[in-house]
Amino acid sequence: MKTIHVTAAVIRDRDRIFATQRGYGEYKDGWEFPGGKIEENETSEEALIREIREELNMQIRVLKYLGTAECDYPGFHLSMDCWLCEITEGRPELLEHEAARWLKKEELDSVAWLPADQMMIPIIRKELEKMKLQEFKWTREPKDFRETDGRIEIITAPHTDLWQRTYYHFRNDNAPVYQTETDEKYFSFIVKTDFTESHHRFDQCGIVMYLDSDNWLKASVEYENEQFQHLGSVVTNHGYSDWATTAIPADIKQMWYRFSRREDDYCVECSYDGITFSQMRVCHMHEGKGTIRFGIYACSPEDSSFKAVFTDLEMTECAWKAHDGQKPDEE
């Protein structure tokens, strides 16, 4: 059976990818990722850049290889290299296709993909769940941090913290937070934290939703001593912090967190293995409607410093399911 080797662009724009509807030939009206045949003496990436220029009249940057779909069609075998790309110049002009759509993760099954393209959908769905760190922004950027391929390391500065009024009667609002922004009303955010180097009382790192100095929540493990540490969360509404903790062994040095949103209600969960999560906190954020910011933070409230490591950042469909018990009260 004849093998045809082609290359295809999975063009990403934040949380969506670009799909085109074939406008000619035996497979007319089928949906596909734009691209085409690899010519003699061309690499797959070179062919892709040329094809996108010819088909859509725009320039792209090839970011990374996603995989090759091997698919048998009547009369030939198709070998299709797929590459994650981004637009660098221009906007799509449909010179050969009859239609196009930008699709979010939950819309990937809304079109009739051609067989080889359909094979790539699980990989692309997973790719869309990964967080793009280019979209994260610092509030109080730390002097010492490193960001490489989905890994963030923060060296905390002494006397940094987030706290408002309650019990201690002081306010600290100088910890660095690294966040992205969304108006999605239902989602979950997962991150793995490593705090192996924490060694001083109150050293901490974890997840955060920092709206402003008076409205935020955080969850982390705080170092206490060589016997135990505190796994806890702080919810701050209108300038007052509400803290809840439980003691865990001091030899635990990694923790996953899952932060979930259902409109202006929120759930924070933790996990020792990234698979089984346990609920830490359910709360309402008075200023948590509409667009929010969420991400990670690390700090050392006392005279210390340590390296906090964050990996496996992922945004998924909301894992916190709607309540299925007592019906809501009538208002």
Do 300 and 175 reside in the same domain of the chain?
Answer: yes
Predicted local distance difference test score (pLDDT) of residue 63: 87
Do 125 and 181 reside in the same domain of the chain?
Answer: no
Do 140 and 114 reside in the same domain of the chain?
Answer: no
Band of the pLDDT at 324, cuts 50, 70, 90? confident
Residue 262 has pLDDT above 90, yes or no: yes
Q: Is residue 265 assigned to a domain?
A: yes
CB atoms within 10 A of CB 288: 19
Do 107 and 219 reside in the same domain of the chain?
Answer: no
Q: Kindly state the percentage of the chain with pLDDT values over 90.
A: 82
Rounded to whole angstroms, the Cα distance separating 292 from 315 reads: 14
Q: Is residue 198 assigned to a domain?
A: yes
Higher pLDDT, 159 or 316: 159
Q: Is residue 220 assigned to a domain?
A: yes
Q: Is residue 327 assigned to a domain?
A: no
Do 27 and 151 reside in the same domain of the chain?
Answer: no
Band of the pLDDT at 68, cuts 50, 70, 90? very high
Among candidate residues 89, 112, 129, the one where a domain is terminated: 129
Predicted local distance difference test score (pLDDT) of residue 81: 96
Q: Is residue 195 assigned to a domain?
A: yes
Do 143 and 124 reside in the same domain of the chain?
Answer: no
> What would the pLDDT profile of 164-176 be if each residue is shown by its tens digit?
999 988 999 999 9
Do 90 and 140 reside in the same domain of the chain?
Answer: no
> What would the pLDDT profile of 175-214 be if each residue is shown by its tens digit?
999 999 999 999 999 999 999 999 999 999 999 999 999 9
Q: Kindly state the percentage of the chain with pLDDT values over 70.
A: 100
Band of the pLDDT at 14, cuts 50, 70, 90? confident
Among candidate residues 129, 147, 181, the one where a domain is terminated: 129
Predicted local distance difference test score (pLDDT) of residue 308: 98
- Which residues, at least 6 apart from 275, have a Cβ–Cβ distance to it below 8 Å? none
> What would the pLDDT profile of 88-147 be if each residue is shown by its tens digit?
999 999 999 999 999 998 899 999 999 999 999 999 988 887 777 778 999 999 999 999
Do 88 and 22 reside in the same domain of the chain?
Answer: yes
Band of the pLDDT at 255, cuts 50, 70, 90? very high
The CATH number given to whatever domain includes residue 168 is 2.60.120.200
Contact 56, 95 (CB under 8 A): yes
Band of the pLDDT at 26, cuts 50, 70, 90? confident
Among candidate residues 129, 154, 182, the one where a domain is terminated: 129
Predicted local distance difference test score (pLDDT) of residue 242: 97
Residue 40 has pLDDT above 80, yes or no: yes
Q: How many domains does the chain have?
A: 2
3-class secondary structure, 181: strand
Band of the pLDDT at 327, cuts 50, 70, 90? confident
> What would the pLDDT profile of 138-184 be if each residue is shown by its tens digit?
999 999 999 987 799 999 999 999 999 999 889 999 999 999 999 99
Do 17 and 141 reside in the same domain of the chain?
Answer: no
Do 167 and 276 reside in the same domain of the chain?
Answer: yes
Q: Is residue 330 assigned to a domain?
A: no
Mean pLDDT of the chain: 94
**Burial state string for 123-138 with b = 16 or more CB within 10 A and e = fewer than 16:** ebeebbbebebeebee
Contact 221, 195 (CB under 8 A): yes
Predicted local distance difference test score (pLDDT) of residue 70: 95
Predicted local distance difference test score (pLDDT) of residue 316: 85
Predicted local distance difference test score (pLDDT) of residue 315: 87
Give the CB-side neighbour count of residue 196, counting CA atoms within 13 A.
Answer: 5
State the residue range of the domain holding 6.
Answer: 2-129
The CATH number given to whatever domain includes residue 33 is 3.90.79.10
pTM exceeds 0.75 = no
Residue 319 structure tokens: 């894992």
Do 145 and 235 reside in the same domain of the chain?
Answer: yes
Q: Is 76 exposed, middle or buried (0-12, 13-18, 19+ CB in 10 A)?
A: exposed
Do 123 and 225 reside in the same domain of the chain?
Answer: no
Contact 142, 157 (CB under 8 A): yes
Q: Is residue 322 assigned to a domain?
A: no
Rounded to whole angstroms, the Cα distance separating 314 from 223 reads: 26
Predicted local distance difference test score (pLDDT) of residue 127: 84
Query: What type of residue is 71?
Result: C
Q: Is residue 259 assigned to a domain?
A: yes
